[in-house]
Amino acid sequence: MRPTLRSTAALAAAAALLGCPAEPGQRVSTGLGAKADQIAYDRGLTPDDVAAALKTYMPSGRIDDHIMFASSGHAGQVLVIGLPSMRLLRTIAVFTPEPWQGWGVGGKESMEVLAHGSAGGKHLTWGDTHHPSLSETNGVYDGEFLFIGDKANARVAVIDLRDFETKQIVKNPLATSDHGGAFVTPNTEWVVEGGQYAAPLGVGTYAPIEEYDQRYRGYVTFWKFDRKKGRIDVERSFGMELPPYWQDLADAGKGESDGLIFMNSFNVERATGGVESGNPPFEAGASQRDMDYLHIIDLKKAAEVVQRRGVKINGFTTIPLQASIEEGLLHFAPEPKSPHGVDVTPGGEYAIVSGKLDPHVTIYSTKKIREAIARGTSNKDPYGVPVLDFDAVVEAQVELGLGPLHTQFDDKGYAYTSLFLDTAVARWTLGGEYAKKHGQAPWSLVTKTPVQYNIGHLAAVEGDSASPGGGWLVAMNKWSIDRFFTTGPLLPQNFQLLDISEPGETMPVLYDMPIGVGEPHYAQIIRADKLKPWEVYPEVGWNPMTGQRDPNATEKGKERIVRRDDGVVEIWSTVVRSHFTPEHVKVRQGDRVIWHLTSLERARDATHGFCIGGYNINLSLEPGEYASIEFVADQPGVFQFYCTEFCSALHLEMVGYLLVEPTTDAGK
């Protein structure tokens, strides 16, 4: 078996060296020979630099051991990054048209998926992706599907990881925007989408801001996922009406807490802003109280109650707030104000909450929560929701530093929390069985590693699953300032790779990776060997959206052009290195064109593009793929269609002509 980078003698020698040259001109022995010593000398590298390079360098042809799926913020896509190399492997087109993948730029199939995510007659061409979530089996990533939410437009997308393509986008009928999406339950029966900014429920519903307390509401949506179909079943999905607090991120219980959903909220003050009228701004008004409310939802019971007490809001089945109270579906527990992250430990024993304005993380015992719910409480919020006693449900608090946000876990009993204001990652120990198993002092800070700068989320290897992997952690930093070449006032964000393989206080930063495509928020990291992507589509004529051979797929030798009596010209084409068949397509101005294209390729990576200049059309045809386009030939003239992929030596000859004959009255 090939040794890993960390086990090589060279790495051990480099990592064990002492001394730290401050600038070029100071000699250092790398332990790797004269050539390596000279390179280190010329570049002013320290032994730590050399060790970091050895840990992250991937020789040509070597495949990364882990894959990270990261949001791309307002780019609207998902980033696929290899670890430990931190190489960007590709993006996955989701909410934003993307020409390289032929996503939303003329292809009928992708245009239909994007259209399903539109609302109110608006064609949406971007999204704000925040929280990718891998499908799980028994609380462990299984590498089959990926879900991602769109904060700007309250949408959730389903991505099939056999071909890394978006298969479905669903628009939430209850709200215009959200934040807490997407999070899955341990066996991916449900995809959880929390709300954020309270509003009248139902897209397009209006109420004056002065009626906030009475008519504005929060919400959470539970999308039912049909794993066999690989799609969200909207008809079996439902929402829950919540008080007009600003619900935020969620996490599903597992193990001891299976069946429960934990979701943060803030602005329990119900501040409505209005600085233009002399009111406190939201940032001040929403931070007056010392405590907000952790929402605790019994999803297992809610899935039963919705069958008899659900009502329709904007056509979507929703459990009214009063029904949730009467049926015992919803309880609150006080939590430090302005919380952001809520993260359930691998065994489900605890839920960790970070209040942005509290230097502690607060650990809630899920066993104590169940016991407190069973005992009942007379405390209620203004809307009648039971509020559990804080001391009755909290297990511990650990002081970590300023601005705690999100927590991940490893396989050695440690938790890791991002500290926005300290701009650091904190490592601390869990208590209970974790402390006993690993022989650690319970609930204590171990170390902090500075990162650059202002970290938001962080991701450890399978670090929010029931079986964390350990080894690597990525800090997702909001600022880069002096890390990279200045590209004007708009600077990239910075992903930094930390080595968390060693216990104790050793947790070095190894690598800086600029992310210059948007503002990423969250990521998940999975072992690469859990992913089983196709190298080519299962058969020629495969429609990625239907998951089967398309009935309009074109066989070799059966290419044809058919003019119908209704003014429609239908074309069946094949694509193969290095030509299209047919190469001449003649239509008349005003004709409706339906064009079926089938890639005959069976060789890995033999991808072809198909673009028509002037008509805003570009497809990506992977080996065996079927795709179609529909358009009106409203521009007369001669238009080339060609392969946009440099697929062979005769690439420039892979071309054809679309001839649009002017009608007799053209120009009159």
Q: Kindly state the average pLDDT of the residues 23-37.
A: 74
The structure's pTM equals 0.95
Over residues 368-415, the pLDDT tens digits come to 999 999 999 999 999 999 999 999 999 999 999 999 999 999 999 999
The number of domains in the chain is: 3
Final residue in a domain of this structure, among 530, 559, 592: 530
- Asked if the structure places residue 265 within a domain, the reply is yes
For residues 183 and 237, give the distance between their C-alpha atoms in angstroms, rounded to a whole number. Answer: 15
Whether 489 and 626 map to the same domain: the answer is no
- Does the pLDDT of residue 4 top 90, yes or no? no
Nearest to 589 by CA among 658, 513, 643: 658
- Does the pLDDT of residue 5 top 70, yes or no? no
The pLDDT of residue 12 is 42
Question: What is residue 388's DSSP assignment?
Answer: -
Over residues 575-631, the pLDDT tens digits come to 999 999 999 999 999 999 999 999 999 999 999 999 999 999 999 999 999 999 999
Whether 443 and 570 map to the same domain: the answer is no
Whether 466 and 563 map to the same domain: the answer is no
Whether 627 and 489 map to the same domain: the answer is no
As a whole-number percent, the residues of the chain with pLDDT over 90 amount to 91
The pLDDT of residue 25 is 52
- Asked if the structure places residue 294 within a domain, the reply is no
Whether 455 and 595 map to the same domain: the answer is no
- Tell me which amino acid residue 26 is: Q
- Does the pLDDT of residue 23 top 60, yes or no? no
At 575, list the tokens: 């694509």
Mean residue pLDDT across the chain: 94
Nearest to 341 by CA among 189, 459, 172: 459
The dihedrals phi and psi of 261, each to the nearest 5 degrees, come to -120, 130
- Asked if the structure places residue 536 within a domain, the reply is no
Final residue in a domain of this structure, among 35, 56, 77: 56
- Does the pLDDT of residue 9 top 70, yes or no? no
Q: How far is CA 455 from the centre of its chain?
A: 17
Structural contact between residues 85 and 57, judged by C-beta atoms closer than 8 angstroms: yes
For residues 462 and 409, give the distance between their C-alpha atoms in angstroms, rounded to a whole number. Answer: 8
For residues 466 and 349, give the distance between their C-alpha atoms in angstroms, rounded to a whole number. Answer: 11
The pLDDT of residue 499 is 98
Whether 140 and 21 map to the same domain: the answer is no
Over residues 532-542, the pLDDT tens digits come to 999 999 999 99
Range of the domain at 549: 542-661
- Asked if the structure places residue 597 within a domain, the reply is yes
The pLDDT of residue 181 is 87
Q: Angle, nearest 10°, between helix axes 47-56 and 34-43?
A: 110
Whether 574 and 498 map to the same domain: the answer is no
Whether 83 and 146 map to the same domain: the answer is yes
Q: Could you tell me which residues are beta bridge partners of residue 631? A: 593
Give the largest Cα separation in the chain, rounded.
87
The pLDDT of residue 24 is 47
Final residue in a domain of this structure, among 38, 56, 74: 56
- Asked if the structure places residue 434 within a domain, the reply is yes
- Asked if the structure places residue 667 within a domain, the reply is no
Whether 163 and 39 map to the same domain: the answer is no
Over residues 500-531, the pLDDT tens digits come to 999 999 999 999 999 999 999 999 999 999 99
The pLDDT of residue 29 is 77
Structural contact between residues 131 and 249, judged by C-beta atoms closer than 8 angstroms: yes
Q: Kindly state the average pLDDT of the residues 121-145.
A: 96
Whether 215 and 249 map to the same domain: the answer is yes
Over residues 341-363, the pLDDT tens digits come to 899 999 999 999 999 999 999 99
Q: What angle do CA 314, 315, 318 make, to 5 degrees?
A: 85
Whether 206 and 346 map to the same domain: the answer is yes
Over residues 239-274, the pLDDT tens digits come to 999 999 999 999 999 999 999 999 999 999 999 999
- Asked if the structure places residue 289 within a domain, the reply is no
Q: What is the CATH number of the domain that holds 622?
A: 2.60.40.420
Nearest to 73 by CA among 151, 125, 133: 151
Over residues 449-493, the pLDDT tens digits come to 999 999 999 999 999 999 999 999 999 999 999 999 999 999 999
- Does the pLDDT of residue 10 top 60, yes or no? no
Structural contact between residues 588 and 661, judged by C-beta atoms closer than 8 angstroms: yes
Structural contact between residues 135 and 146, judged by C-beta atoms closer than 8 angstroms: yes
Question: What is residue 62's DSSP assignment?
Answer: P
Question: Which are the contacts of 429, defined by CB distance < 8 A and separation ≥ 6?
Answer: 413, 414, 415, 435, 438, 440, 441, 442, 443, 444, 446
Sheet strand arrangement including 493-499:
455-460, 472-477, 493-499, 509-515
H or E segment to which residue 80 belongs? strand 78-83
- Asked if the structure places residue 313 within a domain, the reply is yes
- Does the pLDDT of residue 574 top 60, yes or no? yes
Q: What is the CATH number of the domain that holds 496?
A: 2.130.10.10
Alpha helices in 298-401 (DSSP H): 299-309, 321-326, 366-375, 390-393
HSE-CB of 73 using CA atoms within 13 angstroms: 14
Nearest to 403 by CA among 477, 340, 344, 476: 340
Whether 517 and 637 map to the same domain: the answer is no
